[in-house]
Structure 1
Amino acid sequence: MTLSKQNKSNFNIFWKIISFILLFLIQQSPTILLGSALQSHSSFKKSWELVIIFSGLCMLIVGLMLGLLHKTQSFATRRFTKKSWWIFGIGLIAITLINVLLQPLIKPTGNQNVQSLTHLMLTFPLMFVIYAILVVPITEEVFFRGFFINWFFEQHLAVGCFLSALLFGLMHVSRDPFYFLSKFLLGLVLGWSYLRTHNIKINILLHFSNNFLAIFIGVLMIKP
């Protein structure tokens, strides 16, 4: 590789890293908005303005991220096939086993990430449920599987799959090793399904199933 090509490659990597960080902040902005409203002592957190701003922000982010993935994905998206649904079924079984085996080991208190999300769910139940079940599966899959693997590990997809799972676990901030392990294993399953199907929609469906199950269990565990 010539020096000019090396410099161009380093330049591209630099901008990919900057873009990746900015997209992470954008992806987190709906949660930041709800968190800010939660801390507000004004009537804003119970207003229609919050609902409109939150809904518009979510739609804008989903459209932006899906459009960008379509332009930057390193391989062509495959159509849904019978094999795709088999992989979805295997992934769903794996995700269910991860939840069943590790959920009892996760500490019910002291988990800052879980506690913060619980506060948001109790304060903004409808917005949070819609966001967690419909929006998060799209934005997190596009971000962690789509952007991370395609942008930084185009020639080493399996390595990207493993590291994306590690990053996925670390980003769900917690000192509980079992909580981290559950997210890491979930990330591995999602990364595997993405590489096997070459279709991010399978990941989104699996992530949707996982979040729906988590919220359903969380609602059952809330004491009246």
Structure 2
Amino acid sequence: MTNKNIQPNPFKSLFHIIAFILLFLVEQIPLSILTLTKANLGKNYDAYIRIAPIISLVLMAIAGTILFLVFRRAQQFDTIPFSGKTWLTVLAGIVLAMLVNYGLLPFMRAQNSNVDALNTLGQNSQAILIFSVLVISPIFEEVLFRGILMNWFFPNRPIISILISGIVFGFAHAPISNDTDWIYALSKILLGVILATVYYRTKNIKADISVHFLNNFLSIVLAI
């Protein structure tokens, strides 16, 4: 992301790895509050449904503040304002994202851990599910996986930075296990690469947030 020839500092890299993992956990916690079920909680489920959405929203505000503050310090270049070229890049990004999504969809399993978690979230709070998919996920994930990760790791080697961003993003949505849906993981890796490329080319985090939002919005609309 920058042309400065800076030698890598192993201690700084280790700090960034640890910090990124902690930030990932911070980003995950707000929605994880709403992934418990009646089978888990029994008679306490009704009280949980009343209070858990409020706790989740408060934690979202805290997580968002932390991510934004870290991102402001992490970005190594000045944000370039939107232009006609930016919008063309956004359009190209959403077209590629939809091609990936629907090109690989027939080969994916109907269920996986990420889809199951979203289904549980929707059963507990449909409003927060929609808010998360359309607002929170596009903002939080782009700030974390693009805005922070790409500025912390290999900022002088954009191809490596883009690939790492895509791979980490993909396996964050489809963790490696004996039951991993590898086609679903591939779709998320490719989506991550597309979003990372949009960020790199536009130098504006709002551009890849826009692509992410449109991708999620169109996925919901076309699924209805």
Given the two structures, how large is their TM-score scaled by the length of structure 2?
Answer: 0.87
Gaps of 5+ in 2: 1-5
What is the one-letter code of the residue matched to 1:192?
T
1:116-165, Cα deviation, whole Å (9 max, x unpaired): 21222133111111012100111111111111111011211221101110
Indicate how the Cα distance of structure 1 residues 46 and 169 shifts in structure 2: closer, same or farther if over 3 A, else same.
same
What is the one-letter code of the residue matched to 2:58?
G
**Alignment pair present for 1:29 and 2:65:** no
Indicate how the Cα distance of structure 1 residues 45 and 132 shifts in structure 2: closer, same or farther if over 3 A, else same.
farther
What is the one-letter code of the residue matched to 2:93?
G
In structure 2, the residue matched to 1:189 is 194
In structure 1, the residue matched to 2:71 is 69
Runs of 4 or more consecutive aligned structure 1 residues displaced over 4 Å after TM superposition:
none
In structure 2, the residue matched to 1:107 is 109
Range with bigger deviation, 60-69 or 136-145: 60-69
Give the match's secondary structure for 1:40.
helix
> Do 1:37 and 1:45's aligned partners in 2 also have CA atoms closer than 8 Å?
no
User: Percent of aligned positions with the same letter in both sequences?
Assistant: 33
**Alignment pair present for 1:176 and 2:153:** no
Q: Count residues in correspondence.
A: 212
Given the two structures, how large is their TM-score scaled by the length of structure 1?
Answer: 0.87
Deviation at 1:217, TM superposition (A): 4.6
Matching residue within 204, 208, 212 for 2:213: 208
1:158-216, Cα deviation, whole Å (9 max, x unpaired): 21101110111111126222211111111111011000000011111111112223334
Give the match's secondary structure for 1:155.
coil
What is the one-letter code of the residue matched to 1:138?
I
Distance 2:166 2:13 in 1: 21
What is the one-letter code of the residue matched to 1:128?
L
Give the match's secondary structure for 1:113.
helix
Distance 1:155 1:24 in 2: 23
In structure 2, the residue matched to 1:45 is 48
Matching residue within 95, 98, 114 for 1:96: 98
Distance 2:192 2:53 in 1: 31
1:50-104, Cα deviation, whole Å (9 max, x unpaired): 2322111112211221221111111111111111001011111111111221122
> Do 1:37 and 1:44's aligned partners in 2 also have CA atoms closer than 8 Å?
no
**CA-based RMSD:** 2.0
In structure 1, the residue matched to 2:3 is none
Higher relative contact order (CA 8 A, sep 6+): 2
Distance 1:147 1:44 in 2: 37
Give the match's secondary structure for 2:77.
coil
Deviation at 1:40, TM superposition (A): 2.8
Distance 2:157 2:183 in 1: 28
What is the one-letter code of the residue matched to 2:189?
F
